[in-house]
């Protein structure tokens, strides 16, 4: 192995590398490049080539030094990770040996107040990973009360979503809700947290962020794209931080990973050939020492699977939840 400089330490980094099992000459996709932690670990394996994808231009720019250090073995592409099959094809790779995805907002984005992801840092209410399109402030200003309640409930799993939506509509009549602090203050008047619980605005911020970036749609499409590009035996490794994302990954692997039906009284029902062999029957979680060193890792779950030689299946239809196009059209 050729040592690469150690900087950002990714969540479950050691476990991701173990499940990807990179080998010399292999081609791997870091579908959510971020600060480059997984890419750096992969590049430590001699002869490995990595394609790093991120929709955040800041993340791509931050990886330029690593591109130079990698000596031609790292290619960075600014794009959505749902387009990873097209990205690989454009780079001349019809099949790859592994795909890793780290779902959600990165620590780098959270820690930049001007990006508007954090209720702990006052900044513009933005939340756009790409910096383009409709912002969280636009949604809060324009969406109907019913749409706001649905967004916060579906994507934030917030049981007080209706009360929060009502409070947001009332507050925006008085003044625009244009900053993270303004949003957190409105939510804090509705949701009262007990000592030791998460911040009252956590779920509302999560819901808006996921909605603004269409993160769950992206994940659905990215998983199907990984199925298309992985060669037989290639590994898919996904790290999630919320139950919503983990459920999508789990359901995808169940649907693509086996034969269903049957019981101890009835014969096994043969279904279509599995596209994946699930490697992690239960999600892998961080060790206590990692959580102590990085509290943001506490909710992380890793799932891994190996591609079979069955032909890839088209992506399933996306769930019928609120979309930016429909909500902003009604607003």
Q: What is the domain-level CATH number for residue 267?
A: 3.40.50.150
Q: Looking at the structure, do residues 89 and 219 belong to the same domain, yes or no?
A: yes
For residue 6, the model assigns a pLDDT of 42
Asked if residue 314 is part of any domain, the answer here is no
Q: Looking at the structure, do residues 239 and 290 belong to the same domain, yes or no?
A: yes
Asked if residue 117 is part of any domain, the answer here is no
User: Residue 40 and residue 10: Cα distance in Å, rounded?
Assistant: 10
Q: pTM value? A: 0.90
Q: Looking at the structure, do residues 163 and 288 belong to the same domain, yes or no?
A: no
Asked if residue 85 is part of any domain, the answer here is yes
- DSSP code for 91: T
Q: Which two tokens stand for residue 246?
A: 């983990």
Q: Which two tokens stand for residue 39?
A: 């890419």
Asked if residue 315 is part of any domain, the answer here is no
CA within 13 Å, CB half, 8: 17
For residue 104, the model assigns a pLDDT of 75
For residue 321, the model assigns a pLDDT of 93
Number of domains in the chain: 2
Q: Looking at the structure, do residues 237 and 92 belong to the same domain, yes or no?
A: yes
Asked if residue 256 is part of any domain, the answer here is yes
User: Residue 177 and residue 309: Cα distance in Å, rounded?
Assistant: 52
Asked if residue 202 is part of any domain, the answer here is yes
For residue 251, the model assigns a pLDDT of 96
Q: Looking at the structure, do residues 185 and 227 belong to the same domain, yes or no?
A: no
Domain residue limits at 233? 13-107+215-307
Asked if residue 119 is part of any domain, the answer here is no
Out of 187, 212, 237, a domain closes at: 212
- In 10 A of CB 251, how many CB atoms? 13
Q: Looking at the structure, do residues 282 and 138 belong to the same domain, yes or no?
A: no
CATH number of residue 200's parent domain = 1.10.150.170
Asked if residue 331 is part of any domain, the answer here is no
For residue 194, the model assigns a pLDDT of 77
For residue 157, the model assigns a pLDDT of 95
Nearest to 325 by CA among 166, 139, 177: 139
Out of 212, 237, 272, a domain closes at: 212
Mean pLDDT by 10 residues, the chain (331 residues): 53 96 97 95 97 95 95 97 97 97 74 69 89 93 97 96 98 96 95 82 94 96 98 98 94 83 50 92 94 89 98 92 90 67
Contact 210, 220 (CB under 8 A): no
């Amino acid at each position: 192995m050729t040592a690469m400089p150690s900087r950002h330490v990714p969540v479950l980094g050691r476990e991701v590398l173990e499940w990807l099992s990179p080998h010399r000459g292999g081609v791997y996709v870091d579908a959510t490049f971020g600060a480059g932690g997984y890419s750096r670990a992969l590049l430590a394996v001699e002869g490995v080539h990595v394609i790093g994808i991120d929709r955040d231009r800041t993340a791509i720019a931050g990886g330029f030094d690593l591109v130079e250090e990698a000596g031609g073995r790292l290619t960075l592409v600014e794009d959505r990770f749902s387009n990873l099959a097209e990205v690989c094809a454009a780079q001349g790779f019809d099949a790859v040996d592994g795909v890793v995805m780290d779902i959600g907002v990165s620590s780098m984005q959270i820690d930049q107040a001007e990006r508007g992801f954090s209720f702990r840092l006052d900044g513009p209410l933005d939340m756009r990973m790409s910096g383009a399109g409709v912002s969280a402030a636009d949604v809060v200003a324009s969406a109907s009360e019913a749409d706001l309640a649905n967004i916060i409930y579906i994507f934030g799993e917030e049981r007080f979503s209706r009360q929060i939506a009502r409070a947001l509509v009332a507050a925006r009549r008085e003044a625009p809700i244009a900053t993270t602090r303004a949003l957190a203050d409105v939510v804090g008047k509705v949701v009262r947290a007990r000592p030791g619980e998460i911040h009252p605005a956590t779920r509302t911020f999560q819901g808006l962020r996921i909605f603004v970036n269409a993160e769950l749609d992206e994940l659905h499409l990215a998983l199907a794209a990984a199925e298309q590009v992985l060669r037989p035996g290639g590994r898919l490794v996904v790290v999630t931080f919320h139950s919503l994302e983990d459920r999508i990954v789990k359901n995808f692997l169940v649907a693509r990973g086996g034969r269903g039906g049957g019981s101890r009284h009835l014969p096994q029902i043969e279904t279509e050939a599995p596209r994946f062999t699930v490697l992690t029957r239960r999600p892998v979680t961080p060790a206590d020492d990692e959580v102590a060193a990085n509290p943001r890792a506490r909710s992380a779950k890793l799932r891994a699977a190996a591609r079979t030689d069955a032909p890839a299946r088209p992506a399933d239809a996306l769930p019928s939840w609120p979309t930016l196009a429909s909500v902003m059209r009604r607003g």
